[in-house]
A and B are shown apart, each in its own frame.
Chain A
Amino acid sequence: MAKPKVAFYWCASCGGCEEAVVDLNEDILKVVEVVDIALWPVALDFKKKHVEAWKPGEVTVAFINGAVRTSEQEEWVKLLRSKCPMVIAFGSCAHLGGIPGLSNGTTRERTLAAKYFESPTVDNPTRLLPQRLTQVNGYALELPEFSASVRCLNQVIEVDYYLPGCPPTPEWIMEACRMIITGHLPAKGSVIGLEKSLCDECPRKESKPEVLKISAFRRVADSTPDPEKCFLAEGYICMGPATRSGCGERCIRGNMPCRGCFGPPTESLDIGTKFLSAIGSLLDADTEEKSAELAATLVDPLGTFYRFSLPSSILKNRLG
């Protein structure tokens, strides 16, 4: 039997998801033993015309990482969707919007200004911005459109499965490959991970007190957390209570609180407000003034509560 063909593609992402595939180490050999890689822009030279020439179904699975911000990314994911019977959103950005999705906390104009006018390493006295069309020596040069906001993959095309994480862990990537090869697939639309919250799996859960009160917020930038204790009990924002487990608790073991890259468990509608609700209820405040005082010391609630998930949240983006 011919080996099934798979495609890897990247959109608005940092490259970490590509790294995660490389991090499979020797296991990557096991993968290429059973599948052929038909497209992988980061490592192999295929062009769009090659993909356009694929017969529908010829390439079984597209693993797509990154959020969708440009018209080029939109074209590519639609092309891959039209060719591949299965599309897997690979990593937090494709799954929920990810770090690039934080740009939905401001406007397109502000994003461009920050990048092209205000960045300390940019010298742009004539305030040039990228243009869709530029004439150079009689040639028309074209750039993709930079859209109004960031979308996660299922806001652009239909997605069959999701591999969560920033980036997905080798264990779950191998598990996804195993599912595809053996045909033991979960229900369409499933997130490949565990259904419990991270706190259930956390090595520090014993130190999470029954009654938890937060009297001050602390940040890892200013102080070093106790390497044994529940972060939340110490006032460090830890997204564990609202986040899907299965990540292997690598951040926790590295003395970093959870930031929520695995996203919410399936039943949760909106990770940010869920978590806000949990944190808010824990504040050590018995008056409106005290509650407001404490709330004001939490730096960037939107960026903290929706660090990986803003485009997929209920509100999705800031109003212009």
Chain B
Amino acid sequence: MSDAKFEPKIVGFLCQWCSYTGADLAGTSRLQYPPTLRTIRVMCSGRVDPTFVVKAFAEGADGVLIAGCHPGDCHYNEGNYRAMRRYPLLLELLDQFGIERERVRLEWVSASEGEKFAGVVNDMTARIKALGPLNWKERSALYSGVA
């Protein structure tokens, strides 16, 4: 199903203290990663309500990346633990909706891990390319014929 030209759209929610800075570093270090990521800067990975994730999918994302500070490093102490606790439940839920687990990823990326960040985006892009587009609107029965 995956055609060669398919460029996944990945929405990336990056915590501003660590992962966003890490992404910046990847950029200033001229590390190569594909232009698949649409970045949304958030205060903390704990701010990423699972509602944002389903909304991203419903509106056309092929994947969602949530990235925050390493456990113990969150600038609000507990935020990334919250993200960590919700994540597996969210995966279970999305699985029931028919959304593959590989489309959602939670990663810890510090401000100095530009290389890790580029690696995550590369890897995620490759995996989603293999899965093919999600096309939620086209494939969901309820988006057609709704008054």
Residue numbers of A with Cβ under 8 A of B are: 104-105, 108, 147-149, 151, 155-158, 269-270, 272-274, 276-277, 279-283, 285-288, 291-292, 294-296, 298, 300-302, 305, 311, 313-320
Contact = CB atoms under 8 A, between A and B. Distances in A.
Closest 4 CB pairs of A and B: A280-B86, A319-B98, A295-B88, A148-B141
B142 A273 contact: no
B141 A105 contact: no
Contact of A319 (B51, B81, B139): B139
Nearest to B57: A315
Interface in B24-58: 49-51, 53-55, 57-58
Contacts of B141: 108, 147-149, 317, 320
Contacts of B123: none
B54 A315 contact: yes
B19 to A, nearest CB: 17
B82 to A, nearest CB: 5
Contacts of A105: 96
A276 B139 contact: no
B147 A270 contact: no
Given A149-B141, A320-B141, A301 B85 contact: no
B81 A301 contact: no
A198 to B, nearest CB: 19
Contacts of A302: 93, 96-97
Nearest to A154: B147
Interface in B77-99: 81-82, 84-93, 96-99
B51 A149 contact: no
A295 B57 CA distance: 22
A291 B58 contact: no
Given A314-B54, A314-B58, A316-B143, A291 B93 contact: no
15 contacts: A158-B147, A273-B49, A287-B84, A295-B89, A298-B92, A301-B96, A302-B97, A314-B58, A316-B143, A317-B97, A318-B96, A319-B99, A319-B136, A319-B139, A319-B140
Contacts of B53: 273
Interface string B79-122: 00110111111111100111100000000000000000000000
Contacts of B136: 315, 319
Interface of B: 49-51, 53-55, 57-58, 71, 81-82, 84-93, 96-99, 136, 139-143, 146-147
Contacts of A157: 147
A276 B84 CA distance: 13
Contact of B85 (A147, A155, A280, A305): A280
Contacts of B86: 276-277, 280-281
Given A285-B84, A298-B89, A320-B141, 11 more contacts: A105-B96, A155-B142, A274-B51, A280-B87, A287-B84, A296-B88, A298-B92, A302-B93, A315-B136, A318-B97, A320-B98
B96 A270 contact: no
Contacts of B97: 302, 315, 317-319
Most buried by B among A269, A272, A301: A301
A276 B104 CA distance: 16
Nearest to B48: A277
A288 to B, nearest CB: 6
Contact of B50 (A277, A291, A298): A277
A277 B146 contact: no
Nearest to B58: A314
Contact of A291 (B88, B98, B99, B140): B88
B92 A301 contact: yes
A138 B36 CA distance: 61
A280 B51 contact: no
B84 to A, nearest CB: 6
A93 to B, nearest CB: 15
Given A279-B89, A280-B89, A291-B85, A315 B58 contact: yes
Contacts of A295: 88-89, 91-92
A260 to B, nearest CB: 15
Contacts of A147: 141
A314 B142 contact: no
A151 B85 contact: no
